Amino acid sequence: MFANCSAGGMAQASSDVCRTPPVGIPSNYTNTANKPEAVPNVPTIIYAGGPVHNLNTIIPVTHGDEGGSMGGVASGTVAAQSRHVTGSGKVLIQGAPQTRLTDTNVPNKQNTAGQSVSPSQTITMTLS
């Protein structure tokens, strides 16, 4: 599968439930994390023009759930960080598993689970 990096791509979760004003009604929002906004922790390994991502890489801000400004039902946050929770079992980048297109991520500070919907790049693949 294609390796994640900061050259492009996005991850998305379609079931981010946040409390919506004025009375805090739980509503479903689509939450998006843009990979170019990631804070890379491995700046020396570049794939297709962007630093590679591993399990220690975070995306500090997500988008799409701002309407639920009273916070996520599970996390109590809105537009919070996203990070991957699964990665390669065999490829380590600076001691942490490399993340790939199909690996699970948790946007909005673990309020929901999602997955990458568009690749960061289409050149480098991690097959394990």
Q: Which of 14, 13, 15, 18 is nearest to 74 (CA)?
A: 18
Nearest-angstrom CA–CA distance, 42 and 9? 18
pLDDT in tens, 17-61: 889 999 999 999 888 999 999 998 899 999 999 999 999 999 999
pLDDT in tens, 70-106: 988 888 888 889 999 999 999 999 999 999 999 999 9
3-state DSSP helix/strand/coil % of the chain, to nearest 5: 5, 40, 55
- Determine the pLDDT at residue 107: 87
Q: Which of 30, 29, 34, 9 is nearest to 18 (CA)?
A: 29
* pTM for the structure as a whole: 0.88
